[in-house]
Structure 1
C-alpha cells in the first residue's frame, strides 16, 4: 500500500503543475506542506508548498513561463529570460526561486534548476542544496526517462548512506541512520548548532520514519557492507579499515577533497587516495568525515554569498 502524505494530494500537485510550461525533466514538492513534521510551528494545513522544477533549457523555460506567469517574477523579469538564467546558473546554488505565489488556492514557492547543474550536484555535492533536499522524502510529481538523471538521483542516495555510515558506530538504529542522513545538508548551518532550529532534523525524521525507509530500504538491503535487520529496525556495518576505505573512496568528489585538505600536511601534497587510506585507519575517521562535510557546506555557502554580492555590485 502506498504511504500517505498529508491532505495535499497528488491531484492537487498536478493541478498546480498544469499552470507551468510542460518541459520538465523532474518536478517534485517537499517540506511540511507535504510530509508531517513535529514541532510547535508545524501547521501543515496552511504551510507553503515548496516545488522544484528541473529543466533542460532554462532560457526557453523561463521565456515561456514569463508569458504565462509574468506576475510571479520580481523586477528581474524586465531583464528577460537570459539574464534570469544567468543569475540562476551563476549567482546562487544553481536555483532561481519565485516565492509567495498563490496558485490553485494554495500558497507556493518554486525553484527552477538546470538538469545538468542538478546532476553535477547529485554526483559531486557541489553545494548540497537541491541534492540535500533529495536525500529526504519528497513527492515526485513528474520525471522523464533521462537515464543520466535517474542514475544521479540514485547515486546521491547511496552517497548519503555511505557518509552516514562513516559517522556512525558499528551498530545503530534506523532512526539514528535517518537522522544522520537528514542532517547532512545542514552540517555547516550555524542555526543547526544553536537556536530554535537545532531540533529541525529530529522534527523531520521522527514523524516520517516510514517514508525514509521507503526511500532507502532497497539501498540498505543491497549494500554488501551492512547487515540490515529491517524487522528490528537495526543495522550493523563493517568498521574495519578496509571497509572504511571502500566507503571513503565512493564519497562525492567535493567531500573527498575537503577531507584531503584537512588531513594533508602543508607542503606534502599527497593525492586524495593516499589521504583517504590514512583516514580509514584513523580511530577518529567519523569525526574527520563530519568535519570535511561541515567545511564543504560552509565553503559552498560562503562562495555563493560572495557570488551574489558580486552580482549585486554589478547591477548597482
Structure 2
C-alpha cells in the first residue's frame, strides 16, 4: 500500500492513537517508511513499521500502555510495569521493544526510551543506538517543545557530519558524505554480518538523497570548515592538523573517550586534549575515529539484541529473526542476478 503524504500522516496518527499520549518524541523509521534502492516493495503495507517513542516518565507510560495493550508485551508483563521499566533503563541501550504487534491492519515494532536517556545518547553518543537511527531520515510524528531535546537532535546531526569529515578525504561528493554518515550506526553492528542486507547502507542513501539533503544541507552551508558546492553536489574540507583538531575536539564525549583509550598507552594518563592533538597530526586520523566508533556500536547492538530476545519472547524472536534472514537472502540474490 503506497500512500500519499496526507494519507500516511492520517495513517500514522491512527497508529499513535492506540498508545498513551505522553510522548516527547515519536518517529517512524526503516524500510517500511523510506524506500530502499533495489527493493520492489513499496512503503507501508509490505514491511513491518518501526517506531520509537521517547517518554518523560517510562514507569507511568508502561503502566497505562499495559492496561491498554497488554498483549503487546511478552510474559514479562506479569512482572508489572516497574520491572519492565527497570529492564528498559538498566540493560542494553535503554530501549524496550515490543515487536510483531498487529495494529491498524499492519505489523509494527515500537521501542520506548526515556527522554533523558535519548538526550544523553544524542549529545554524548553513549550507545549510538537511537542517535544512529536519527542520523538517517526518519518521519517525525510527535515532537514537543522540550528545548534540551531539540538542541540535542541538532547536536547529533552536527556530530555525524564532523565524524564523517574526519573519515573522508579532502574532497568528496555529497552522496559519499551521506554514505559515510549512514554507515556510522552500522559500524561494529554484528547484525550486518548475520541478519542485515550488507548492501543496506548504499540502498538507504541512493533512494533517499533529498531526505538526507533536507537533514544536512543547512549544517553544511553553515560549516566553517567545509566548502559546500551544493549545485555540483561536492564538498571540500579542511584536512590540516589544525582543522582536524578542531573537529576532534567537537566530537561527542564517548567517542573522544574511545579514541583516547585506543591511542594513550596505559599509565601515561595524558589529558584528552593532548591525545586528540596527537591524533589530529596522524595520517591515520580517520581510521582511528572509525575504530573509536566500532566498540560503541558493537556493545550496544549486541546487548540490546540479547535484551530483545527476552522482551519479545522466544516465538516472536524466532519469527523476527527469520524475517531478517529472508531480507538478507533477497539482497544476496538481487546482487548475484
Q: Please give the TM-score of this superposition, normalised by the length of structure 2.
A: 0.86
SS of the equivalent of 1:67 reads: helix
SS of the equivalent of 1:46 reads: coil
Residue 22 (structure 2) aligns with: 23
Deviates more, 1:50-59 or 1:191-200: 191-200
8 Å Cα contact 1:5/1:35 also seen in 2: no
Shift of 1:196: 6.2
How many pairs are equivalent? 308
Q: Please give the TM-score of this superposition, normalised by the length of structure 1.
A: 0.91
1:276 aligns with 2:276: yes
Shift of 1:59: 0.4
1:266 aligns with 2:266: yes
Shift of 1:101: 1.1
Map 1:18-97 → 2, pairs under 5 A: 18-40=17-39, 42=41, 44=43, 45-97=45-97
Unmatched runs of 5 consecutive residues or more in structure 1:
312-316
Deviations 1:58-84 (A, max 9, x none): 000011111111111111111111100
Deviations 1:84-134 (A, max 9, x none): 000000112111111111111211111100000000000111110111111
1:181 aligns with 2:184: no
SS of the equivalent of 2:199 reads: helix
Please give the root-mean-square deviation of Cα atoms over the aligned residues, in Å.
2.3
Deviations 1:46-67 (A, max 9, x none): 1111011110000000111111
Distance in 1, Cα, partners of 2:225 & 2:240: 10
Change (3 A) 1:191 1:144: closer
Deviates more, 1:78-87 or 1:266-275: 266-275
Deviations 1:140-167 (A, max 9, x none): 0111100000000000000000000000
Structure with bigger RCO (C-alpha 8 Å, 6+ apart): 2
Map 1:168-207 → 2, pairs under 5 A: 168-192=168-192, 197-207=197-207
Distance in 2, Cα, partners of 1:231 & 1:5: 29
Residue 314 (structure 1) aligns with: none
1:13 aligns with 2:8: no
Deviations 1:201-246 (A, max 9, x none): 0011100001000011111111111011111111000111111000
SS of the equivalent of 1:108 reads: strand
Unmatched runs of 5 consecutive residues or more in structure 2:
312-337
1:232 aligns with 2:232: yes
Deviations 1:273-304 (A, max 9, x none): 11100000111111111111113322444566
